Amino acid sequence: MARKPGLLLPLLLLLLGPAPARSFGQLPLILNTWPFKNATMAAWKTLAAGGSALDAVESGCATCEQQQCDGSVGFGGSPDESGETTLDAMIMDGTTMNVGAVGDLRRVKNAIGVARKVLEHTTHTLLAGEAATKFAESMGFINEDLSTNVSQALHSDWLARNCQPNYWKNVIPDSSKYCGPYKPPTMVKRDGIAYKDPAHSYSHDTIGMVVIHKMGNIAAGTSTNGIKFKIPGRIGDSPLPGSGAYADDMVGAAAATGDGDILMRFVPSYQAVEYMRRGENPTTACEKVISRIQKYFPKFFGAVICANVTGSYGYYSEMLTYLYTLHFEFNYTVTFRRIQLMGKGSKGGQLEASRRSGDNSADWFMTPKVKTEMRYDRTLCGNG
């Protein structure tokens, strides 16, 4: 069951002062995939400085683009078959249901920034390829090479390994042994839903971020350089609204990460938000999404993070090792959590996180720096 938008609750919270009831006190919330702590912190600083939820998502994802989080976000990572790095990103405003996104963006580092410009300055949702680069240039972004020594070395190694792994099937020459160019054989043997073991792909990933402002505005976004050695032109789930991320102020938000070619067929972030709209808690919503995918693709790997309007969050993971969250406790202190996940089939959320934080297992911490910022924020935001 969908409840009324979260707007009223934080307002109430402000009116009541610094000792509101426990169930109202989880906002703002920042939640992102992977141990990208600097991204979480950047989003937090943006909120603390008076920025909107959209601003926070943009600065968080942009931080990952600059710092090349895990090599899987930003320039110099995941070269495609031709050796080029291309970027996908999306940002969604859950208040207006406006979305900006770019796919297969070339030679521009700040993909989430370009996505934000699509949102702010066009009535379109998604721009792709060279034309997206032209758009970016017209918006003042620099056109520059995204290759680095690292991405070039990855690509040469791949060529030296006979272009293994790759993402072709049912082609001549045999793509499991040789490089292309490939052609379809005259008689294509149908292989049903045979699924290539994606073990080689575990390294690729994406930042997915959800931010809920203390006033209840919700935004979500993603940024990635896709998968290594993808076929040029491939766009993953990340820039697709409802797949990579989704946000709706009435309900909450979700973001997904993992095998994007499979993920996008199930529109998982939209589906998770819809489960929450029907009354599921965030953990169950995330879990149901993954189990739907696994019915068809038992070897699927991926994860979904979910948060509802009241700031409760959950996750279900077949791959993630860590999550970072940052949110207010009900007494206006900030909790910054590093949640270590337990491998395949990990799920959980707030309750589990609190329990774990209680057992001193070092899965969470609050740095002095965060404490300082928290006080700053209390003065700044706590008074309106």
Ligand X SMILES: *[C@@H]1O[C@H](CO)[C@@H](O)[C@H](O)[C@H]1NC(C)=O
* Cα 249 from Cα 234, distance rounded (Å): 31
Q: Smallest distance, Å, CB 219 to ligand X? A: 18
Q: Smallest distance, Å, CB 30 to ligand X? A: 16
Binder among 101, 163, 309, 341 for ligand X (CB under 6 A): 309
The answer to whether 293 is a known ligand-binding residue is: no
SS3 at position 335: strand
Q: Smallest distance, Å, CB 115 to ligand X? A: 21
Residues in contact with 144: Cβ distance below 8 Å, sequence separation at least 6, in sequence order: 107, 108, 109
Binding of ligand X by 325 (CB under 6 A)? no
Binding of ligand X by 333 (CB under 6 A)? yes
The answer to whether 321 is a known ligand-binding residue is: no
- Residue 257: how many CA atoms within 13 Å on its side-chain side? 32
Site string for ligand X, 128-167 (x = CB under 6 A): ---------------------x------------------
* Cα 95 from Cα 68, distance rounded (Å): 30
Q: Smallest distance, Å, CB 63 to ligand X? A: 8
SS (H, E, C) 123-184: CCCEEEHHHHHHHHHHCCCCCCCCCCHHHHHHHHHHHHCCCCCCCCCCCECCCCCCCCCCEC
Q: What radius of gyration, in Å, describes the C-alpha atoms of the chain?
A: 21
Binder among 72, 175, 257, 312 for ligand X (CB under 6 A): 312
Number of residues that bind ligand X (CB under 6 A): 14
* Cα 281 from Cα 352, distance rounded (Å): 14
Q: Which is nearer to ligand X, 27 or 309 (CB)?
A: 309
Please say whether the beta carbons of 349 and 315 come within 8 A. Answer: yes
Binding of ligand X by 329 (CB under 6 A)? yes
SS3 at position 101: strand
Q: Which is nearer to ligand X, 206 or 335 (CB)?
A: 335
Binding of ligand X by 308 (CB under 6 A)? yes
Binding of ligand X by 3 (CB under 6 A)? yes
Q: Which is nearer to ligand X, 87 or 309 (CB)?
A: 309
Q: Smallest distance, Å, CB 214 to ligand X? A: 15
Closest-approach residue to ligand X (CB):
281
SS3 at position 47: helix
Binding of ligand X by 85 (CB under 6 A)? no
Q: How many CB atoms lie within 10 A of CB 31?
A: 30
The answer to whether 221 is a known ligand-binding residue is: no
CA distance readout (Å), 83 to 125, 181, 186, 223, 272: 28, 15, 30, 19, 35
Residues in contact with 47: Cβ distance below 8 Å, sequence separation at least 6, in sequence order: 28, 30, 53, 55, 56, 211, 213, 214, 377, 381
The answer to whether 191 is a known ligand-binding residue is: no
Q: Which is nearer to ligand X, 18 or 232 (CB)?
A: 18
Binder among 60, 165, 260, 282 for ligand X (CB under 6 A): 282
Instruction: Find the binding residues for ligand X in span 334-363 (CB under 6 A).
Output: 335
The answer to whether 216 is a known ligand-binding residue is: no
Query: Bridge-partner residues for 334, per DSSP?
Result: 328
Active site residues: 206
Comparing C-alpha atoms, which of 274, 270, 282, 329 is closest to residue 308? 282
Residue numbers of the site for ligand X (CB under 6 A)?
Answer: 3, 38, 67, 149, 281-282, 308-310, 312, 329, 331, 333, 335
Binding positions for substrate are: 234-237, 257-260
Binding positions are: 234-237, 257-260
